[in-house]
Amino acid sequence: EGEYTFQELVKSLDEGKEISSIDGLVFKDENGTIHARPPNGYIQDLDKIPYPSWEHFPASRNYFNHYRHNPLYPIMATRGCPYGCIHCTKIIHGYKIRKRSPGNIVGELEYLRDKFGAREVIFVDDNLTFDLDFANELLDLIIEREVGIYLLMPNGIRADTLSPPLLKKMRRAGVYGFAIGVESGVQSIVNKIGKKLDLDKVRNTARLAKEYGFLLRAFFQLGLPYDSFETMRQTIRFAKEIDPDFALFFITTLFPGTEMYDIVHDIGTIGCADDNDEARADPNKQGSEVNLGFFYKPVINFTFGKLQPGDVKRAYSIAVREFYMRPRKIMSIISTFHTIPEIKWVVHYFLVSIFNIIGNLFSR
């Protein structure tokens, strides 16, 4: 975590001091040699981190202009995740949940509202509802203090933590939408990647989200290490079955430091997976050249088992086409529009997806 490291770096640069002894810093010297200092450790008392000084970034009012209500700002209430998903970069914030106090969090919401005119705040936590006592206490305080701004949880929360009482309280607190990480529509694959999620609970959460009027996004991966073309088709069918407002399909990306990276490194092939040689890596370099891709420009940076890159690309094209090109879905999406920024975001996502589909057709 970089807050204290960055603070020390800026201070050292300002005072003309040597930076080579700063813990948590990775730097390149004048000879081009890369040096990595020991990690600075996780920050245990998150309340000690001051609120961001957004006044130094006046353009920040436009940073997140594809959401429903502007100005909009992000906030992080917790760090860490105790679950063992093999693909996840949770090593950044660790396995232990660390929480800010509800009073500190609500104080920042009020700070953003009163000083910067925030009309919406997005929670960018990995797992905001993991601790239900904490989640209830936070929501109760937001309601009690009448914060009065729209709230969104777009990064994904555990579908199996959401109950009718909690969802009702979320609505009262101003939460109008959230995302759930599903990953696969095949229970055996969900189990193999360490998700520990019952797909029947996903079905129930999707039903409740519609019942209580939430805007629901669901995340799916195509090309997981244990996927086949048929299991990817099952994932697409599952996405259509639960029918969130938006299904976001991602081609699985291999990140160094994850358990999935170690598995593929041992019995798969890292890099050289893309037909157009977009993803290049030497497996012996432990990911130093792994192409991490970009969410809207799918890149296949590994191969595992019998699954071929062409199958993954084809499944991605099918997923976007079959989920979104349904007349009922098109009308449903149009009905969710409330603002011009939302329309722009959907049009952008649609066009990028279409270009990716066309690109995949020519790259077979």
Question: Where do we find the tokens 């420009």?
Answer: 297
For 84-113, the pLDDT digits (tens) are 899 988 778 888 899 999 999 999 999 999
Q: Which residues contact 347 (CB under 8 A, 6 or more apart)?
A: none
The contacts found for 7-13 with CB under 8 angstroms, 24 or more apart, are none
Q: CA 343 to CA 355: how far, in whole Å?
A: 18
DSSP string, 181-213: EEE-S-HHHHHHTT----HHHHHHHHHHHHHTT
What average pLDDT does range 309-313 have in this prediction? 90
Residue 284 scores a pLDDT above 50:
no
pLDDT, position 359: 65
Residues 6+ away with beta carbon under 8 Å from 214: 167, 170, 171, 175, 176, 177, 178
DSSP annotation string for 28-87: E-TTS-EEEPPP----S-GGGSPPP-GGG-GGGGGTTTTSSSSSEEEE--EE------TT
Angle at alpha carbon of residue 42, lines to 97 and 139, rounded to 5°: 35
Q: What are the pLDDT digits (tens) for 83-92?
A: 889 998 877 8
Could you tell me if residue 24 is left (phi over 0), alpha (psi between -120 and 50 degrees) or otherwise beta?
Answer: left
Whether residue 290 has pLDDT greater than 60 = no
**Of how many residues is the chain composed?**
364
> Which phi and psi (to 5°) does residue 169 adopt?
-70, -35
pLDDT, mean of residues 152-169: 95
The H-assigned helical ranges of 287-339 are 309-324, 327-336
Is pLDDT of 166 > 90? yes
Rounded average pLDDT over 305-310: 87
Residue 355 has pLDDT above 80, yes or no: no
- Joined together, the tokens standing for residue 249 give 């399909």
In the beta sheet, which residues pair with residue 269? Answer: 303
| 3-state DSSP percent of the chain in helix, strand and coil, to 5 | 45, 15, 40
Quickly tell me which residue has 């201070």 as its tokens. Answer: 11
* Domains of the chain (ranges, CATH numbers): 1-41 (no CATH), 42-362 (3.80.30.20)
